[in-house]
A = this chain, B = another copy of it.
């Protein structure tokens, strides 16, 4: 039996908690540290998960006590902490996005791609059972050659203004997941057009950001990818894809807690609303993300999104941002 890897989770916020729980539940890895500059937060999580608390991430990364770090702290800390981990010979799984500025991403690119330890970027949706099943069936040839991909992704409600202000804009903050999903099916995107409007949220408009957007992209083999986003959805978290090929189409539907349907005078076959919370909706994929990262380390393989996948998503987001302001389709080179 392989020895258990010792892990630190950096960030004791919502995402950090998810990762702490995943580490605890995953074989082959043990939670050693939870790190947060606010010591109370770190300690509260540490108590819940029976591990040590710390406030200085660099000290933990360089402590020699850990094999693996999971970065769930704010975006500006991602690049420096990944770099520290690579330098310290520690495996690193980092939340998306790598950074909001492509220059910072590019600066670490060579080092990340040549790292002796594993570097993974947390695009967990590729690992969602729904999307993953679609990918497997596409790869098996069920729908022939992919021609069109439609990604619909709507959040239950907008983040607060303070978050929007530092989010880098909807394309870099929210659509970035869909850019990665697009590349799951069409890796070689060559052109991006984006369109955004302000339909319902005044403070998003104040921040010069959009609340509803659509992105159209072309792939190198003539594929067309369409992404449709909204910052709100009255019926809960709305996440669906449709992959259309020359031999058929694969489609996911949203998830509810049960499949129970009510037939009444007012309506036929009415089910409960969709799940409202991305942590709940994607609980399985967060777990699988870590399991695959551990498996990759054990086998010397890469099962997670790579640094360059993270970079590609940001390049697409930047192009969408530009396109939505200029009204022009933007050619792109992801190599």
Q: Closest CB of chain B to A228's CB: distance in Å?
A: 6
Q: Closest CB of chain B to A108's CB: distance in Å?
A: 32
A206: CB under 8 A from chain B? Answer: no
Total number of A residues with any Cβ neighbor in B under 8 Å: 74
Report yes or no: A263 in contact with B248, Cβ–Cβ below 8 A. yes
Report yes or no: B199 in contact with A246, Cβ–Cβ below 8 A. yes
| Contact A268:B259 (CB < 8 A) given known A195-B329, A218-B195 | no
A74: CB under 8 A from chain B? Answer: no
Report yes or no: B260 in contact with A133, Cβ–Cβ below 8 A. yes
Residues of B contacting A137 with CB < 8 Å? 260, 262
Which of A31-39, A83-91, A230-238 is near enough to bind chain B? A230-238
Report yes or no: B223 in contact with A249, Cβ–Cβ below 8 A. no
Report yes or no: B261 in contact with A250, Cβ–Cβ below 8 A. yes
Cα separation A228 to B244 with both chains bound (whole Å): 11
Residues of B contacting A145 with CB < 8 Å? 199-200
Cα separation A66 to B195 with both chains bound (whole Å): 50
| Contact A327:B193 (CB < 8 A) given known A137-B262, A234-B248, A235-B263 | yes
Report yes or no: B268 in contact with A267, Cβ–Cβ below 8 A. no
A130: CB under 8 A from chain B? Answer: yes
Cα separation A226 to B195 with both chains bound (whole Å): 10
A214: CB under 8 A from chain B? Answer: yes
Task: Tell me the A230-282 residues at the B interface (CB within 8 Å).
Answer: 230, 232-236, 238, 242, 244-274
- A197-B223, A236-B268 given. 13 additional CB < 8 A pairs? A130-B260, A137-B262, A143-B262, A147-B199, A148-B228, A152-B242, A235-B249, A247-B264, A256-B268, A263-B273, A264-B273, A268-B270, A270-B270
Shortest 10 CB-CB contacts between residues of A and residues of B: A327-B329, A248-B264, A270-B270, A197-B222, A235-B263, A267-B270, A133-B258, A249-B263, A253-B259, A147-B199
A-B contact pairs, 10 of them (CB 8 A): A191-B327, A193-B329, A197-B224, A212-B222, A234-B249, A248-B263, A251-B261, A252-B258, A254-B259, A268-B272
